[in-house]
Structure 1
Amino acid sequence: MKINSRTKIVGENVLLVPYEAVHVPKYHGWMKSKELQELTASEELTLEQEYQMQASWREDEDKCTFIILEKSVYDETKDEVESMIGDTNIFLVDNLVGEIEIMIAETAARRKRCGWESVIMMLLYGIQFINIKEYVAKISMNNSKSIDFFTKLGFEEESRSEIFKEITFKKLVNEQWTSWLREQVKKIEIKNY
């Protein structure tokens, strides 16, 4: 999405930066993992297809994606690729509804609350800058960690698809929930990238 092409979001433990071509080879390597493919309901792409996907996410007005960097690693190395741990996305289902996604690909970065901080920052970004009024999350039925994660964020089950083996969760945006989200993150700064 062009709106976030020159934006980074700085948190306490993570940085969210636009998905650039330089990130594609490492991202492509992650997506060769059968586990990640299953958890994200994704198929393996060729490297060329991954570059095309990156360009699409950058230019299409209905997609917003950020690469998640582990802030401590980035602060030490100043190397975005070395600091990459995952990504978070919003796909606009319609004008005011966004499908939220999160992936922490680096196993060493899991269980450090990097995903929690990243998705909350992304939810707040969507509310403030994209004017999202409702979020949905589609999660594989066998991904109990993500189901628990989004339930803790206040999402409620809306439907199940036995065909796709996924559950759709929904959360309406309101002032009380937005305030609660802000309380969950100690630091969030929107800066030029």
Structure 2
Amino acid sequence: MRLNEEVELQGRLVALVPYGAGHVPRYHQWMKSEELQKLTASEPLTLEQEYQMQRSWREDADKCTFIVLDKLRWVSGLCTEEDCMVGDVNLFLTDPEDTTVAEIEIMIAGVTKLGIKKFQAKINLENTISIAMFQNFHFKEVSISDMFQEVTLWLTVDNCRRKWLLEQTNHIEEKRYSQRLGEAIGKIHLPAD
């Protein structure tokens, strides 16, 4: 999503940066894990397909993707941004008629810029670890699909929840993101479209 292409969010322990081409090789390595594929309901992709996916996520108006960095290692300057990667955060605007609803893959506060009023998580029924994590974040089960073998959980952002989220994230500093992969950018082979 172009909205977050220059947004960097810094918390106490992590920083969120836009998912860029320089992150793809490490992300691709992660996604080779069969366990991670199962937990994220993902299919294995080639490196070229992963680059295409990164570009589409950047261009699509209905996706907002950040890479999660270990902030302490990253700000030290002793390692590359790619080496500091610890995960990702995705928001999918799934309802074109209600742009205040977003499907989320990990908990973040997206209420100020995007105006999100409801987070929705769809999780495979066998993924009890993720279900428990989202329930700990106060997501409530709203449906179970036997056909897709998944549970849908929602977190509604009412005024009270919005205030709480803002209080919990008031230490987060938003900055203009400038890619810090340095000279490595020029060495990355980007496949042709």
What TM-score do the two structures reach when normalised by structure 1? 0.85
CA distance in 1, matches of 2:173, 2:105: 21
Deviations 1:115-153 (A, max 9, x none): xxxx23xxx2x2111111211001111222211111121
CA apart distance, 1:183: 3.7
Name the SS for the 2:105 alignment partner: strand
CA distance in 1, matches of 2:126, 2:14: 27
Cross-structure match for 2:137: 153
Give aligned-pair identity as a percent: 51
Runs of 4+ deviating beyond 6 Å: none
Cross-structure match for 2:70: 70
What are the equivalent positions in structure 2 for 1:1-193 lying under 5 Å apart?
A: 1-76=1-76, 77-94=78-95, 95-102=99-106, 119-120=107-108, 124=109, 126-185=110-169, 187-193=171-177
CA distance in 2, matches of 1:21, 1:146: 28
Name the SS for the 1:129 alignment partner: coil
Bigger fraction of residues in strand: 1
CA apart distance, 1:186: 6.5
Name the SS for the 1:93 alignment partner: coil
CA apart distance, 1:185: 4.2
Give the number of equivalent residue pairs. 173
Cross-structure match for 2:183: none
Deviations 1:68-105 (A, max 9, x none): 00111112225210000110000001222100013xxx
Name the SS for the 2:143 alignment partner: strand
CA distance in 2, matches of 1:178, 1:127: 7
CA apart distance, 1:50: 0.4
* Amino acid in structure 2 at the alignment position of 1:19: Y
Q: RMSD of the TM alignment (CA)?
A: 1.3
* Amino acid in structure 1 at the alignment position of 2:38: E
Structure 2 spans left out of the alignment, 5+ residues = 178-193
Bigger fraction of residues in helix: 1
Name the SS for the 2:138 alignment partner: coil
Contact (CA 8 Å) 1:12, 1:186: kept in 2 or not? Answer: no
* Amino acid in structure 1 at the alignment position of 2:123: I
Q: 1:96 to 1:185 in 2, by over 3 A?
A: closer
Name the SS for the 2:94 alignment partner: strand
CA distance in 2, matches of 1:27, 1:97: 27
Structure 1 spans left out of the alignment, 5+ residues = 103-118
CA distance in 1, matches of 2:104, 2:34: 22
Contact (CA 8 Å) 1:68, 1:87: kept in 2 or not? Answer: yes
